[in-house]
Structures are given as C-alpha cells and as structure tokens.
Structure 1
Amino acid sequence: MHRTEVVVTGLGAITPLGADVASTWAALLAGDSGIRGGVPHGHADAGLPDTAAGTMAVDPAELLPPVRARRLDRSQQAALVAAAEAWADAGAPEVDPDRLASAIGTGIGGVQTLLKEDDVLEASGTRRVSPRTVPMLMPNAAAALISIEYGARAGAYTPVSACSSGAEAIALGARLIRAGEADVVIAGGTEAAIAPITVAGFAQAKALSRHTADPASASRPFAADRGGFVLSEGAAVMVLESAEHAGARGAHVHAVLAGAGIAADAHHITAPAADGSGQISAMRKALTQAGLAPEQISHINAHATGTPVGDVAEAHAIGEVFGRATVTAPKAALGHLFGAAGAIEALVAVLSVEHGVIPPTRNLTAAGVDPGIDLDVVAERRDVPQHAVLSNSFGFGGQNVSLIVTGARHHTSPTTPTTP
C-alpha cells in the first residue's frame, strides 16, 4: 500500500536563545544558555522571589504591529511570530484552503491574560474587564489565529497534553496528511506561562531547579547534581507537507517526518510508569512507522528535564529500546518550554539531520553524567552525519510522544541557517 511521505518545508521559532530559527540554532550549537536570573514572577505579596527562567530573547510583542499585539496573549504573540517565519521559510506556498490545516499545541493557553484580567476584576469590577478576555485566554486561540491568518480551512487543532503538546501537534499534522485530509499543515507548539501560580505550583511540588544562584547552570539534564527543571517560554512551528505537494512546487525540503509514536502510561497523573512502558511503546511505535531499526537512529533528542526521577526513567526506557544510545538534552540550554518544548526540540532534530551536527548538552562539566544513567550524553558539539534522529516528549498524565526525522532524499540549497 502506498504510504504518503510527510516532509518539513518551513521552520520558525522564538525561544530563550533567539528571536528566530537562525539565532536559536547558532546559540544552541555554541553552548550558550537562554536561562536568565532575576525574572519577576508577579506579586511581591505572593512570597515568590525572582528566580531563574527562560524568557524569550525578544518580546514577541515587538515583532508584531502594536495594535495587534495588545489584542493577543503573550503565548499567541509567540505562535504568530514563529508561524510567520515558518510560512516564509516554506516559500509562502499556494494551497487550496480546504487542504490546509493548523495544529498548535499548548499546555495551558492564555494564562497571562487570565491572571491579569482576574486582577482587574477583583480591583476594579466587571466593567473594567477586557471584552477580549475570552479569545485571549482560550487554549485554542493560537491554532485559530493561525488558521485565520493563512486561510486554513481543513481544521484548526489544539492538542493539550502538558509537555508533549507541541510534539503531539506535529504528529497530528503528519496524520492529517497521511489520512488524505490535508496537503499542508502548520504545526507546532506555544507557551508563555511564567507566572506566580505556575511557579508556586511547581515549587510546592519540588520540581524546580535549586541551582538558581548561577542561572546559566540551573538546568542540568542527566547531570549527577541535577535538581529540577527551569521554566521557559516560546514557540516553534513547522510547515509539514506531503512530499507530492512539496515536489510539485519545487519546495526546499529540510527533512522527512518519517515516524511518530504516541502512547499513554495509564499509570499516574505526574509520575512516569516505573517500567517505562509508555515511553518504550511511543519510541517503538515511531520506529515501526518510520520503518527503521533501533541501530539506524543516529542520536536521540531526550525529553530530559533535569528532574532526579524523570531523567533516570527516560534513560532506562531509552536503554530498553536502543541500548547505550547517543543522546542530547536541549533543555539544558533552553529550559523547559512546556507545551512548546516538543515542537522546538523536533525543530532542533530537523536541523541536526539537515546540517549533520549534534548540539551539546550544557552543564555536565562539573559533576558529570549521573553514574546511574548509562547513555552517551553529548557534552560537546559533534559534527557527524545524522541520518535519523528521534525526539522524545513526555508530559504529566502519562502522555508520551516520540518523533523521528530523517534526511531528505532530494536536497536543494538550504534556506535556513548554515552550521556556524
């Protein structure tokens, strides 16, 4: 049976490392950190000190017309900025609107708007609340706004699956194309949830990094002295396209989205299954869909948030499928972008395949890799051909997504950043 090949023709991002794909990629390869100190988390009377966080390198509102920016939540601003870059990178393709869809994942949506307008309500009453409150806070707004912006009438989808949301949106986009429901899908994830309530909640759960005195070293995936993750924000979007549609218009292909695996632990609302069954299942499903054996994966973009339990659980699951695999952990530089994390890390996987390089994992030099983690963790950039890269994204609720990208068979001159 003929299987539709899904290719990546456009990339866009705004992250703690840069305002676009080129600056983010260059900073990641250089081993830079997007984590900054002294980030205010809201009300002084909430008892939350300023701490380290991965705020976007540029305020997304500065990249949009002022009037429009004021009508959007910060998460929506980021999504539109990333989508615009991805669409332009794809060559602004002419697509039948009924064959174009959007799929933008998010963990929480417009929480900044929700908190701000609730403050207005309590301080000044109903009449002072913005009439735009609901469209600015609803989680599906980013996907809807992108659908409106580009005339995508094949559907506007919003996977909400915690930290795997962005990866699930990309998997959904590929599924729509393979099912014959769309020729092109604008897919990715967005999040801007650095706020008092999220900081307080994660702090109470003892999930946040304790290494905030030196913000750049706060996120330490796989390190022996890791102590939790770092809150971050941003967006990443890619244009997915059937190979037939891309070929007909002579599009540049960055990579092939060869496989996607989705599985649920059905175990616990926050803790991963002790036997790693859900993570193992997602990785094996992705391999099966891609038609690849474990030894054909060049390296793994690990979910690796820097939590003591989570990193070990993922390492054991990877070991079960791949043995002592080569891995990198982008969250060491980017922090944890929650609903956007899977999208930016999938984008990194695409660039790794396209440019033949494995980005380094920061913050391993002092204590080294946890001796209980038997993986080849890349501490310094490696320039070596990458034929296939698997990217993991796991979320609260036992949500597991693995994506596999492979090299494009018909490669034209690159239009995205060259390897520095």
Structure 2
Amino acid sequence: MLKEKISITAIASLSPLGSILEETWRSYQNKEHCFSLVDTNGEKAWVAPLSKSGRILVEKLRASDAKYRKLDDSVLYAMVASRLAVRDSGWKRDAEFGINLGSSRGATKLFEQYHSEFLETGLASTLSSPTTTLGNISSWVSHDLGATGPEISHSITCSTGLHSVLNGVAWINSGMANRFLVGASEAPLTDFTIAQMKALKIYAKAPESNFSSVVERSRSYPCQALNLEKESNSMVLGEGASVACIEKGVVKNALATINGVGYATEILKHNTSISANGLCFQKSMKMALGDLDPSEVDVIVLHAPGTIKGDLSEYNAIKKVFGSKHPLLTTNKWKLGHTFATSGMLNIEMGVLMLQYDKMISVPFLSQKPTEREIKYVMINAVGFGGNAVSILLCRFN
C-alpha cells in the first residue's frame, strides 16, 4: 500500500454510458447493453459508440476552433473529458498540474484516412504526421487547459489508462508534483481495427438474422464478460475517454482515495498469451493490497474482456490471492465493450460510483450472493497484450 494516500478529486468520462457521472450511474442501473450492429468490411459487427450526449459535446468542441477540425476523435474525446474533470475538481485553468494521458491505438481513424489517401495519390498530407503522433493527446489537452506542468503521452496496450495513474502517483510521491490529470482516450471503431480483432478470433459473433424486438436485442448480451461457461470468445469494441484528477494526501472534496497500486509483467510464450493462473494479476493485486487483509476488499472490478482464456486466467488469479471466499466480482464490458486503453479508467469510474452510492453494480447474467456490509474497498484491474497487469486499490472517503 502507499505510504501516503492519493485523493481522486474528480473523474469524468465520455463513453457509451453518458457524459456526466449522474448519467453514467443511471445507465448502470438498467440491464440493457449499449451495443449496436454496424456494417464493416461487408459484414455485421457489434460496437459500442459514444452516447448521444457525448457525441454532442465532441462535435461542439470540434466546431469551436478551426484548429480542432483536423484532430482525431481520440484527441477530442480526451479534451472534452479533461475539461469536465478539471471543472469538477475545482482546479483553475492555467494552473500547475501534470498531465499523463495515454492511448492504445492513438489517432486510428485519422491515420487510416491519411494512409488511404497516400496509397491513392502517392502524396502525404501536410498534417498527416503532427496530427497522428501519440503525443497529440496530452499536448492538446495541456494547450486547451493552459496547464503549466509536465505533459506525458504513452501507450502500453489495454492497461495504458491505469499505467497513467501509476505514473501520476509516482510523480506525486516523488515530490515533483502535487496534482496530476491522468487517464486515457480511445476511438477504435474503424473497419481496420475491428478486422484486427476478428483476425485474433476473439470478437463476438454478429447474429445471422435481425432481432425481432428491442427487448430481445438489449437482453441478448453479445459480450459475455465474466461468464466462465461461455463456449466462444465474445469481446466487443467500445470507444471513449476517461480522466481523473489526483492530488497528494487526503483532501476534503475527495471522491475516493487510492490506497494501493500494483503492477507486474509476466514472460509470455506468444504475443497475446497470459498464463492460465494470471501470474501478472496475482503479483499486481498482492502489491496493491500491501498489508491490507484480502478479506477487507469488498468488490473487484475485473478487466474481463469477454474472451475465454482472458476471463478465466484473471478469475484463477483472484482465487489464488483471495481464496474461495473472494470479494464480489463485476465488470462493465458486458455493457459498454472493451475500450482498450480507456477500459481501466472506466473501471476506476465504476469503482468510484459504487463507493459513492454504496451499491454494487452487477453483471445481469451472473448470480452472486450479495453482501450486507458497506462497500469500503474496491480493487480495479487491467491488463494488456504483453502481460502487463495493473491493480489499483480504491477506498471510500469518509
């Protein structure tokens, strides 16, 4: 556990669930998923696009400045979410705080567009390089907010968002900063990205015929995340950004505190593998727990991408660390899909909401024996290609 707790004073997101915390919480209260079927590469595929409210905010920002019209969606998502987080935290614009925002894919849509134009014409657009660099995300957010602290963009696949938190915590603990804006942004709903996931044989299958009703569609869950009895992989892509404001110590307006962080990388046998017992998860969760008795943890928000091996390995790791009487388990990917780098940050948001409302957000197609004790500690997990796991221990702020 950390020697000094870190406060989360605000968290904001754009996701398929909504664009403000209250809207996101309301979305979690129903059992409907956010997926829709789209045509991609001549086939149907499930995807989870931004909510209508989120899309309106993005388009409003895009139209507000001529410079923004050539930016990738991943950059604009991050800018909108960062504005919301800083507003809610009470931080002032033009203040000194660090920024660490990451992405697994970066400017996916824009890069594909520029590359397609190059193949057709043999010429590269003037803006093709500066608008597709990964550093665009943090630099544009810093420019938009007028922040004067360090700015960092990075990518370490699907655990990128939680690695941003790790880095922000490290800067604060080192004494080099007192505040950091941390998070991730992802806009991966492109034909090529979906084709890549299908090539890995991990994407959810689209129905062969149309649904007969909205109810049938909403309750036939394409992504079977955490269903350990599923017979096929069921990952679905979503998009969004999530950003948190973190500060040194325990402050009066904290939504929750970060009491522990953990990380680990395991040696892999091939590019996408993870050990059957999730060794990287075991190490990261134990590190995040520190001296806390595992029985004190009330809920674990799993990475659980909806793949057979991925879900099972993480579950096995939890059993190794927590035993047979493990905490309540949950995930949000059954509802909003896998948002790559942003997924870990949306897991943190989900954990913060459960702590704030003292209410479990369950997976509708799974049954667990509920607990009557208050939710005080929530463990957040994420992992990416390369076996790089991160675990964050959140605590209720009293």
Superposition TM-score, scaled by structure 1 size:
0.84
> For residue 354 of structure 1, what is the aligned residue in structure 2?
356
- Specify which of 383, 398, 416 is matched with residue 387 of structure 2: 398
Identity among equivalent positions (%) equals 23
Tell which deviates more after alignment, 62-71 or 22-31: 62-71
> For residue 189 of structure 1, what is the aligned residue in structure 2?
184
C-alpha offsets along residues 99-121 of structure 1, whole Å, 9 cap, x if unaligned?
Answer: x1011121010011100111222
- Specify which of 332, 339, 342 is matched with residue 341 of structure 2: 339
Instruction: Please tell me whether the aligned partners of residues 49 and 238 of structure 2 are also in contact (alpha carbons under 8 angstroms).
Output: yes
Q: Distance in 1 between matches of 2:207 and 2:242?
A: 26
> For residue 220 of structure 1, what is the aligned residue in structure 2?
224
> For residue 79 of structure 2, what is the aligned residue in structure 1?
80
Instruction: Please tell me whether the aligned partners of residues 94 and 148 of structure 2 are also in contact (alpha carbons under 8 angstroms).
Output: no
> For residue 373 of structure 1, what is the aligned residue in structure 2?
none
Cα displacement (A) at 1:95: 7.6
| 2:237 partner amino acid | L
Q: Distance in 2 between matches of 1:90 and 1:161?
A: 27
1:13-32 matches, cutoff 5 A: 13-32=13-32
Call closer, same or farther: CA 1:79–1:338 in 2, change over 3 Å: same
C-alpha offsets along residues 209-240 of structure 1, whole Å, 9 cap, x if unaligned?
Answer: 12546664111112223532001110100100
- Specify which of 146, 165, 171 is matched with residue 166 of structure 2: 171
Q: Confirm whether residue 64 of structure 1 aligns to residue 61 of structure 2.
A: yes
Cα displacement (A) at 1:96: 5.1
Call closer, same or farther: CA 1:197–1:266 in 2, change over 3 Å: same
> For residue 316 of structure 2, what is the aligned residue in structure 1?
316
SS at match of 1:393: strand
Cα displacement (A) at 1:136: 2.1
SS at match of 2:159: helix
Cα displacement (A) at 1:122: 2.5
Cα displacement (A) at 1:75: 0.5
Instruction: Please tell me whether the aligned partners of residues 352 and 358 of structure 1 are also in contact (alpha carbons under 8 angstroms).
Output: yes
Call closer, same or farther: CA 1:295–1:274 in 2, change over 3 Å: same
Gaps of 5+ in 2: 212-216
| RMSD, aligned CA | 2.2
Cα displacement (A) at 1:144: 1.5
Call closer, same or farther: CA 1:377–1:11 in 2, change over 3 Å: farther
> For residue 263 of structure 2, what is the aligned residue in structure 1?
262
| 1:80 partner amino acid | M
Q: Runs (4+) of structure 1 moved beyond 6 Å? A: none
Q: Distance in 1 between matches of 2:337 and 2:369?
A: 17
Q: Confirm whether residue 53 of structure 1 aligns to residue 47 of structure 2.
A: yes
1:138-287 matches, cutoff 5 A: 138-210=133-205, 212=207, 216=218, 217-223=221-227, 224-225=229-230, 227-243=233-249, 247=251, 252-268=253-269, 269-287=271-289
Cα displacement (A) at 1:383: 8.2
Cα displacement (A) at 1:274: 2.7
SS at match of 1:137: coil
| 1:276 partner amino acid | G
Cα displacement (A) at 1:180: 0.9
Q: Distance in 2 between matches of 1:69 and 1:25?
A: 30
**Paired positions, count:** 378
Instruction: Please tell me whether the aligned partners of residues 83 and 145 of structure 2 are also in contact (alpha carbons under 8 angstroms).
Output: no
Q: Distance in 2 between matches of 1:212 and 1:22?
A: 33
Q: Distance in 2 between matches of 1:222 and 1:200?
A: 24
Q: Distance in 2 between matches of 1:271 and 1:86?
A: 35
Cα displacement (A) at 1:94: 6.8
Superposition TM-score, scaled by structure 2 size:
0.89
Cα displacement (A) at 1:150: 2.6
SS at match of 1:134: coil
Cα displacement (A) at 1:181: 1.4
SS at match of 1:310: helix
Instruction: Please tell me whether the aligned partners of residues 37 and 212 of structure 1 are also in contact (alpha carbons under 8 angstroms).
Output: no
> For residue 91 of structure 1, what is the aligned residue in structure 2?
90
C-alpha offsets along residues 335-374 of structure 1, whole Å, 9 cap, x if unaligned?
Answer: 0000110111111111111221111213x2xxx57xxxxx
SS at match of 2:189: coil
Q: Confirm whether residue 5 of structure 1 aligns to residue 5 of structure 2.
A: yes
Cα displacement (A) at 1:146: 1.6
Tell which deviates more after alignment, 159-168 or 117-126: 117-126
Gaps of 5+ in 1: 42-46, 370-375, 410-420
Tell which deviates more after alignment, 53-62 or 88-97: 88-97
Instruction: Please tell me whether the aligned partners of residues 134 and 154 of structure 2 are also in contact (alpha carbons under 8 angstroms).
Output: no
C-alpha offsets along residues 59-107 of structure 1, whole Å, 9 cap, x if unaligned?
Answer: 253241413441210111111111111111101347852xx10111210
| 2:137 partner amino acid | A
Q: Confirm whether residue 106 of structure 1 aligns to residue 103 of structure 2.
A: yes
SS at match of 1:7: strand
SS at match of 2:196: helix
Q: Distance in 2 between matches of 1:401 and 1:386?
A: 21
1:287-306 matches, cutoff 5 A: 287-288=289-290, 291-306=291-306
Cα displacement (A) at 1:125: 4.3
Q: Distance in 2 between matches of 1:31 and 1:68?
A: 40
C-alpha offsets along residues 253-286 of structure 1, whole Å, 9 cap, x if unaligned?
Answer: 1000111111001224211123321110000011
| 1:56 partner amino acid | L
